[in-house]
Structure 1
């Protein structure tokens, strides 16, 4: 499906459906389309919002996880979202979701993390993007998925264009280094909302032991794995991802008040 974008107060975003809010955050090389299957599955009963994170355009001095969390804060304010909502994040988006939750514990009712950074990440296989090297980019994009066929030529071409821009590459490096610096091991115990962790068993960027660490450190977390799946389960195994998400949302839905 092709996602239609909206603009308000300088923010570009997807806004589909009506109901309780699901706020979706993409990763470092991610895009709005990464969540297309989630949008399609949940918009009949939820309002699904995806802000386009300004990873390649934000001021270099602000290019980092805290800067992106502040951007999400501004987006939430601009759209006047309800008091509490559910936040989903993939990879860097999960890291941003965690920092936002730590900064605004009263605004987040539930968290869903998939392939999240925040404890460990091997985002570029131990190195940063190499400008002008198409083969390197192709290899790194394929490294993201269990099935290299998911790394289509269109996806590789798009990321190659991004990494071939000097200004964008500087921001990618700054944000990647910020993610490595901002380890949340000592902070996660402060997050008490229900958390769903959905991980690919074949994730080589945030491997399965990282998921187990998140499950151990987050007080109210449950962990689910998808086999034959890499770093982006909502793209590579959308049916399985959506099934886990649907079950979690139903189980943790607010219960109606019982009148005396």
Structure 2
């Protein structure tokens, strides 16, 4: 959901954002339907049960959420145990379940108008790069293509076989894309500054 909030921020404060590099399905952009997993979390009574099912009972079982988000099993098995320990500790923070459930409900209820619509995305003035796993369980890359087509300077790049967190599946590819985008942005800023100084 960080990508969703970052886009809201870029719309509100375009002078403070140079570009957006968004990893995974970026929340509620152009989404007309709530994904099934998130719908379950919004049903009264079922939400708490749903959250308990998502929380690993031990560090050894901390990989479950990654599998459910479409992460390649080979990539998961290559992760160090310390990563699983961190996931387990994070998921067992005080009020984690309550806060996550509240966020999901607020984000996905129509009455709060949190979805980013086409008209809003067309107003986005900064470049947006979407890095999307082809196995993302929340939304497929076709939605990413729609978003990229609507944004003035939008581009979709896919990571084959990756899930909702593509940097876990292919950290080298994702890291390379991010570095290139940051370098391009730095060059753009330098050219703009040079042009401004010449005037």
TM-score, normalised via structure 1 length: 0.55
Aligned to 2:67: 142
Aligned to 1:129: 51
Bigger shift: 178-187 or 147-156? 147-156
Aligned to 2:166: 233
Aligned to 1:73: none
1:23-68 deviation line (CA, Å, top 9, x unaligned): xxxxxxxxxxxxxxxxxxxxxxxxxxxxxxxxxxxxxxxxxxxxxx
1:167 to 95, 116, 128: 95
1:257 to 188, 194, 197: 194
2:116 to 184, 191, 198: 184
Coordinate RMSD, CA, aligned: 3.0
Aligned to 1:117: 27
- 2:12 corresponds to 1:103: yes
Aligned to 1:243: 176
Query: Distance between the aligned counterparts of 2:108 and 2:143, measured in 1?
Result: 14
* Mapping 1:11-26, distance limit 5 Å: none
1:152-186 deviation line (CA, Å, top 9, x unaligned): 56555544555456622110011122332411014
Unpaired stretches in structure 2, ≥5 consecutive residues: 41-49
Query: Distance between the aligned counterparts of 2:194 and 2:74, measured in 1?
Result: 49
Aligned length: 169
Whose strand fraction is larger, Structure 1's or Structure 2's?
1
Superposed displacement of residue 201, structure 1: 1.4
Aligned to 1:222: 155
Superposed displacement of residue 210, structure 1: 2.2
SS in 2 for 1:224: strand
Unpaired stretches in structure 1, ≥5 consecutive residues: 1-91
TM-score, normalised via structure 2 length: 0.69
